[in-house]
Amino acid sequence: MGFWDKLFPKKEKRAPSARRGDIIPFVVKCERCGEEIKITVNRTTDLQNLYLEPGEKGAAYRLKKEILGKNCPNLVNITVDFGRNYGILSRDISGGEFAEEV
């Protein structure tokens, strides 16, 4: 460590880690090859806010995700609607099916 390194230490840049409560796990199964693909969704960065009017009912957040497995080039698309408390209201999938959650 040199003189300038002591005066001006370099800070390590790390990506902010997600808290355990911010992660929503999903498992999807490819319809073409049968591969089970595990994904984790960060609810603070991956969900889209739908901006409801006051008193309006319906989904508050939406997730749209394209998932690609390791075994085949089949693309699995999911759309999941969440309520204000992040409970799943509806979910739709093309190119695969939802498997049991982790």
**What are 37-86's pLDDT values in tens digits?**
999 999 999 999 998 888 788 899 999 999 999 988 999 999 999 998 89
Residue 12 lies in a domain: no
Residues in a beta bridge with 80: 63, 91
* Separation of first and last alpha carbons in the chain: 46
Sheet containing strand 96-98, edge to edge, reads: 36-42, 23-30, 96-98
pLDDT number for residue 58: 87
Lowest mean pLDDT among 2-6, 32-36, 46-50: 2-6
How far is the C-alpha of 64 from the C-alpha of 1, rounded, in Å?
A: 48
Residue 45 lies in a domain: yes
Residue 81 lies in a domain: yes
Q: Specify the pTM.
A: 0.73
Query: Total domain count for the chain?
Result: 1
Burial of residue 78 (CB within 10 Å: 0-12, 13-18, 19+) is buried
Residue 90 lies in a domain: yes
> Which residue segment(s) compose the domain that 58 sits in?
20-98
Token couple for 101 = 């959650």
Residue 3 lies in a domain: no
